[in-house]
Amino acid sequence: MLLSDRIIFIDAEAIVIDKPAGLPVDTPRRGGASIVSRLDELRAGFKRPPTPMHRLDTDTSGCLLLARSPKSRAAFQRAFEAREVGKYYLAVVAGEVSGEEGAIDIPLAKTSSAEAGWRMVANPKGQKAITHWRRIAIRDGRTLVEFRPVTGRTHQIRAHAREAFGSGIMGDRVYGIPGGPMLLHASRLVVPRSGKETIDVTAPLPDYFGQWRDEA
């Protein structure tokens, strides 16, 4: 499927696509397909291809913002740096989450080993990382949770889910429960714009979320 078929918002300044799981934003070191390698599919009549404004993990699906001009790129960059952009994620967490909502304030740092590779772990000396969460539904011993990260650390939601709830996200081979697709989806993106209507878009849960789609 062409990336142009996955556009959920477009105007002269921006494009938002529903990124498919399994396709990285940046081209991997070993090569292969990526959003960046397929930007020509998103020109939509413009001479220059758009520029991704943030990153989603390879196995994370959902809303990805791209700027269509240097001017809009600079404006979006300022909005991200000022933490004005609202990013909402839906994930299925192993176990039943007891509270209704809360905030995870746990600094994260990168660690690596020859055996396990690298990952983000809780570390008081790490970078500040804050994620708000809200319980949506419980089913069969698992919980659908909405996450809203305030900061934008690498693997923040995945690492925070494990630290806060003890077992992590279903399908997450590094921080959660391996097996099947990772059930983490960038469901909504809210981008304020000066003098223009706010971008506020949602991407529906992929089919592989199964019955959880009825709860979202």
Please, what is the Cα angle at 20 between 6 and 106, to 5 degrees? 125
Query: Count of CB atoms within 10 A of residue 115's CB?
Result: 5
Rounded Cα distance, 170 and 158, in Å: 10
- pLDDT tens digits, the chain, 216 residues: what are they? 899 999 999 999 999 999 999 999 999 888 899 999 999 999 999 999 999 999 999 999 999 999 999 999 999 999 999 999 999 999 999 999 999 999 999 999 999 876 767 899 999 999 999 999 999 999 999 999 999 999 999 999 999 999 999 999 999 999 999 999 999 999 999 999 998 999 999 999 999 999 999 987
Whether 59 is catalytic is: no
Model's pTM, two decimal places?
Answer: 0.94
Architecture of domain 3-214: 2-Layer Sandwich (3.30)
Two structure tokens written together for 189: 């993106």
- Whole-number pLDDT of residue 184: 98
Domain definitions of the chain by residue range: 3-214
Check 18, 57, 59, 172 and give the catalytic one: 57
Task: Select from 149, 188, 143 the least CA-distant residue to 170.
Answer: 143
| 190 burial level (CB within 10 Å; 0-12, 13-18, 19+) | middle
SS3 category, 115: coil
- Whole-number pLDDT of residue 118: 86
Q: What is the DSSP letter of 196?
A: E
205 and 213 Cβ atoms separated by less than 8 Å:
yes
